[in-house]
Amino acid sequence: MKVENAADRPVEIDISGKTFKPFAGAKKHGYTSKVTSLSDALKKCGLKDEMCLSFHHQLRNGDSVINMTLEAVRELGVKNMMMAQTAIFNVHEPVIDFIKEGVVNRIEGSINGVVGDYISRNPLPYPVVLRSHGGRWAAVKTGELHPNIAVIPASAADERGN
């Protein structure tokens, strides 16, 4: 027996003793998770005081993701955040102000340059845990470190965040 498929072509539905349903055509699903700002994304993630923000990237001294994220956190009035980043470099000097303002009060990750110098002279309320790139990942894997929100640099994403 033949029926027309979505392309208006006749196709067999009985093949080798089995009955098949022809492809009905592709449909656009209404799902979207797209947001237009980092602040909105953080709100959708349920950002609140004392969460752990994890930054998974290797942009090194060309990175602005940490600075942009902490600026959005400050604008949302959230405080006492833990940072679990791959590394902090001189480009992250604004982190010093976020520490002074109470936006950040814990750090677990590699710290270099001016931020490292500042923290050496101005201890945080909690001990800093220095972790290598792989050490941070291992701490997450073993359950020693519990990120609440992971922020990554991505040049593009689909409507589901992939």
What are the residues whose beta carbons fall under 8 Å from the beta carbon of 74, sequence distance 6 or more?
Answer: 98, 101, 103
pLDDT of residue 60: 80
At 113, the pLDDT band (50, 70, 90 cuts) reads very high
Please compute the mean of the pLDDT values over residues 63-69 and round it to a whole number: 93
Stated length of the chain: 162
The neighbouring-strand residues paired with 4 are 10
Lowest-pLDDT range of 9-18, 55-64, 144-153: 55-64
pTM for this model (two decimals): 0.78
Average confidence (pLDDT) over 39-46? 95
Q: Which of 69-78, 133-142, 148-157 comes out lowest in average pLDDT?
A: 148-157
Does the pLDDT value for residue 31 go beyond 80?
no
Provide CATH code, domain 38-151.
Answer: 3.40.1080.10
Q: What is the mean pLDDT of the chain?
A: 91
Domain spans of the chain, in order of start: 38-151
Tell me if 108 sits within 8 A of 145, measured CB to CB: yes
Q: How far is CA 122 from CA 6, 77, 100, in A?
A: 68, 23, 10
